[in-house]
Structure 1
């Protein structure tokens, strides 16, 4: 375990009845960082939170907090707190009493409770709201109360189970900034669960992408976006153009019947691969100047760009994000750089993928 690791899961699996919801999960969580468990509904991300919090028991494997095995330690003895999706606030208690609830259970003196609640409210920018009823609070304010209630117990790790999902788009975006700023200011570890890839990319230091009870890929937001390991990650993290291809040689690939320079190596010549090019990396140009030629099928205005769909002569669909407008039914050229081409090997594990990158990057 690294010296700054606060939580580790070692070969953890979880089985409910005959259903395996987690398969051999091994992860390491460092102090003071913002982690996100990202994946579709039912992939096991909330189960990981429940195991860390002590609300569920691992079927196999070891869970450690600060290097100590906590598999048999009850939730109230772990230095973690959870903010739930529905906030789980008490409607019959005001803001002060909601935040103070855990401290009251611990029989903390009332004068100390008052000081700690005031500090927690200041952290979430709700000073002066002590006597407000929960029913009088907006969704964003209720979420801050839930966070303050968790922070008042001085956890080393804050677990957040899709806490923004009930908010409207504008408020959700605002709360992303607030949560990230709060985590950086407090310097404690956040583990955030979401199925929203934009949230994950915007807020995280490190992302674990999950599917069907397994961690498919982990890395920084930039790593995950620029270097997806397989089709699932490429499709789940943003928009992608994915077409079949063949490796010609190091730094050279063939797809749509042409050879192109690329930035990947370490794959055998002739090996079947998949090519990923992000829509924003495709530039509209003339047919004569284009590396590819597509016929424009549809075009939608998305506010900051046009989302354009075109098809090449082989029937491959291409999505383009451009500030330029195209004309439906016409042929256009598409230009891109070698570094915009990302190569994926079907069936490659994350360890194999990392080893291949290291072989030609370092």
Structure 2
């Protein structure tokens, strides 16, 4: 059984009368890659600061390895942070930047040399110790910041949007390197981002946050395939969201037609919202489609076309397809029952998973 490493129990954080986090509860397991995902101001960086000990909670308990750490200062926690701007010392070379914390702890010269050399190998920068920080690229600076954190042998590594300043190509390379590093070291990583593609690519588990609350948590696949509500569906990838009615288990009505689906556990004739992902919709001839649409735009994205259509009711449909169509053309849109996801209004995360479990077990 995997042990928990960080636990939040009814944690609230307020600044004067402004609530930043409200009654947050979660448990993080050792050796996993977690991502806090959400828009600016949702509370994800505050959550990281509470774990690190940079700020104090207003109420509730924070535990590490089962022990309360509320009043333990940041420098006494086996937690290190990699910041968005890396916070490297420009007047120190790479070696001295990495060794800084060890020197503060008055480690021996031999131990410092050994640990810094090993840390440079971990981040694939062997032999870079004498380089000046000004001579390093953005990706290399990020690796130095990670090495400086790892050299202190933390049990938890916090990463506060560390890839945001990198260009797209380097950002994708560093996503892969960070994920591989976490797997290799077995340390718990807690990563903060507002980039949903980054979260999907890197995480074992994602916490989607908004307005100081955790809206939904789960694996990337579970959250992408089964969004709890419109906010999650819109924030995690692109979605077609259409109003409909749940006729019965496995049957849903939208755009004036009844379709088979795989969801259930709701009331007969309950008003719901239907989610269809753009990549789950196939473009075909108009007479062969389950829905008929008129193409209003098309963009080539390299590996696929991004197509937008409108149906007879004025609903807008986004489609990703390898087929090229003409703007103004009438096309058919097809989708499988498994592609239709149903969302219930105002359903909590607990109610959502209880309904799924009950329906899937029936």
Q: Normalised by the shorter chain, which TM-score bucket?
A: over 0.9
Work out the CA distance in 1 between the residues paired with 2:214 and 2:22: 9
Give the TM-score, by structure 2 length: 0.99
Q: Distance in 2 between matches of 1:211 and 1:147?
A: 28
Please report how far the alpha carbon of residue 286 of structure 1 lies from its aligned counterpart in structure 2 after TM superposition: 1.1
State yes or no: 1:76 paired with 2:84. no
Between the aligned partners of 1:143 and 1:17, the Cα distance in structure 2 is 35
| 1:222 counterpart SS class | helix
Q: Distance in 2 between matches of 1:134 and 1:294?
A: 56
Q: CA deviation at 1:221?
A: 0.2
Q: Report what 2:64 is aligned to.
A: 65
> Which residue number corresponds to residue 47 of structure 1?
46
Aligned residue pairs, count? 361
CA distance in 1 between counterparts of 2:203 and 2:318 reads 27
Q: Secondary structure at the match of 2:176?
A: helix
Unaligned runs of 5+ in 1: none
Q: Cα offset for 1:360?
A: 2.0
**Does residue 1:356 correspond to 2:352, yes or no?**
no
Query: Which runs of structure 2 are paired with 1:180-195 in the superposition (5 Å)?
Result: 180-195=179-194
- Equivalent residue, structure 2, for 1:115: 114
Q: Give the structure 1 partner of residue 249 of structure 2.
A: 250
The secondary structure found in structure 2 opposite 1:126 is coil
The structural deviation recorded for 1:361 is 1.8
Deviation at 1:342, TM superposition (A): 0.1
List structure 1 runs of 4+ shifted beyond 3 angstroms: none
Return the offset for 1:288: 1.4
Alignment partner, residue 86 of structure 1: 85
Q: Does 1:275 find its partner at 2:274?
A: yes
Q: 1:171-224: CA deviations, max 9, x gaps? A: 000000000000000001000000000000000000000001000000000001
Superposed displacement of residue 3, structure 1: 5.5
Scaled by the length of structure 1, the TM-score of the pair is 0.99
Per-residue CA deviations over 1:326-345 (Å, capped at 9, x if unaligned) read: 11111110010000000000
- Distance, in Å, in 1 between the alignment partners of 2:95 and 2:163 is 22
Residue in 2 that maps onto 1:97: 96
Aligned position for 1:313:
312
Is 1:238 aligned to residue 237 of structure 2?
Answer: yes
Cα shift readout 1:55-89 (whole Å, capped 9, x = no counterpart): 00000110000100000000011010000000000
RMSD: 0.7
Rounded Cα–Cα distance in structure 2 between residues aligned with 1:3 and 1:102: 30
Counterparts of 1:117 and 1:37, CA distance in 2: 30
Looking at structure 1, the residues matched to 274 and 79 of structure 2 have their Cα atoms a distance apart, in angstroms, of 42
Residue aligning to 2:162:
163
3-state SS, counterpart of residue 288 of structure 1? helix
